[in-house]
C-alpha cells in the first residue's frame, strides 16, 4: 500500500512573536505556528517561574497563555493566526497574585 503525500496548507502570512516574524499556514492556530517555528515556551508560572508549553492543544489546560495584541490570557491553541498579530510570552496569569496587571512578575 502506498500512502498519498499530503500537501501542506497554503501559506497564510506572518505574525510577530516578541518582535520575531513567524510564518503561518492557513488554518494554523497561534500555538501550532509557534511550535512549527521552534518556539516551545509560551509562559512562566506565577509562583516558581517554571516554563510552560502547550499541552492539550484543545483549550483545556491553559498552559499556552500568551498576550496577543496587548490582550492578556489568550489561549494560543484556540486563537487562529492572523496577519501582523503581535504575540508575547506571559509571566503567570494576568491578575493573579505575584503578577502585575500585565502578567509580569
Q: Which residues of the chain form contacts with ligand FES (CB under 6 A)?
A: 54-57, 59-64, 75, 77
Rounded least distance, CB 2 to ligand FES, Å: 34
**Whose Cβ is closer to ligand FES: residue 3's or residue 15's?**
15
Rounded least distance, CB 53 to ligand FES, Å: 8
Q: Helix (H) and strand (E) counts for the chain?
A: 1, 8
**Whose Cβ is closer to ligand FES: residue 63's or residue 88's?**
63
Rounded least distance, CB 93 to ligand FES, Å: 12
Three-state DSSP class for residue 78 = helix
∠ CA 15-20-21 to the nearest 5 degrees? Answer: 40
Instruction: Report DSSP state, residue 35.
Output: H
Picking from 16, 100, 62, 104, the residue whose alpha carbon sits closest to that of residue 52 is 62
Rounded least distance, CB 1 to ligand FES, Å: 34
**Whose Cβ is closer to ligand FES: residue 63's or residue 99's?**
63
**Whose Cβ is closer to ligand FES: residue 62's or residue 80's?**
62
Rounded Cα distance, 72 and 80, in Å = 16
Amino acid at each position: 500500500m502506498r500512502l498519498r503525500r499530503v500537501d501542506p496548507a497554503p501559506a497564510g502570512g506572518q505574525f510577530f512573536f516578541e518582535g520575531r516574524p513567524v510564518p503561518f499556514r492557513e488554518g494554523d492556530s497561534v500555538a501550532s505556528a509557534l511550535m512549527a517555528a521552534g518556539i516551545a515556551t509560551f509562559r512562566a508560572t506565577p509562583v516558581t517561574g517554571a516554563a510552560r508549553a502547550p499541552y492539550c492543544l484543545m483549550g483545556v489546560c491553559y498552559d499556552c497563555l500568551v498576550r496577543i495584541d496587548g490582550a492578556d490570557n489568550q489561549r494560543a491553541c484556540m486563537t487562529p493566526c492572523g496577519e501582523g498579530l503581535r504575540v508575547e510570552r506571559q509571566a503567570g496569569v494576568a491578575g493573579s497574585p505575584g503578577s502585575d496587571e500585565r502578567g509580569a512578575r
